[in-house]
Structure 1
Amino acid sequence: MSLFSVMSTLTLLTRGFLCTLNRGTLFIMVAVTFILLELAMPSLPLFDLPPELIPERMQEIASYCGQQTAMVLLLHYPGVHVAIPKNPLPTHRLAELLGFAAFVQLCELYGNEVIQIPRAAVAIRALRNQKILKGFAQGIFQSTMALEHGITERQVNKICNTVRLDRQLDIFSL
Structure 2
Amino acid sequence: MNFPASVQEIIEVIGVSETAHLIKNLPTYRENMGGRAVERVILYVPKSVGPGHRLANILGLETAQKLCAGFGGETLKPANANCIERWERNTKILRMANEGVPSRIIARSFDLTDRQIRNIVRRSGNGGGELRGANDL
TM value normalised by structure 1: 0.45
Answer whether contact 2:20 2:81 (CA < 8 A) is retained.
no
Deviation at 1:114, TM superposition (A): 2.2
The answer to whether residue 105 in structure 2 is matched with residue 148 in structure 1 is no
Letter in 1 for 2:18: T
Partner of 2:79: 118
- Cα deviation per residue 1:23-68 (whole Å; 9 max; x = unaligned)? xxxxxxxxxxxxxxxxxxxxxxxxxx3xxx2122332222222334
Aligned residues: 107
The answer to whether residue 23 in structure 2 is matched with residue 74 in structure 1 is yes
Please identify which structure carries the higher strand content. 2
Deviation at 1:162, TM superposition (A): 5.4
Partners of 2:84 and 2:58 lie apart in 1 by 23
Partners of 2:115 and 2:61 lie apart in 1 by 44
Please identify which structure carries the higher helix content. 1
- Cα deviation per residue 1:57-83 (whole Å; 9 max; x = unaligned)? 332222222334223213323841122
Partners of 1:117 and 1:57 lie apart in 2 by 5
Partner of 2:5: 56
Letter in 2 for 1:70: T
Unaligned segments of structure 1, at least 5 residues? 1-48, 164-174
The answer to whether residue 69 in structure 2 is matched with residue 108 in structure 1 is yes
Q: Report the secondary structure of 1:118's partner residue.
A: coil
Shift in CA distance, 156/86, structure 1 to aligned 2, threshold 3 Å: same
CA RMSD of aligned residues (A): 3.6
Partner of 2:44: 83
Partner of 1:159: 116
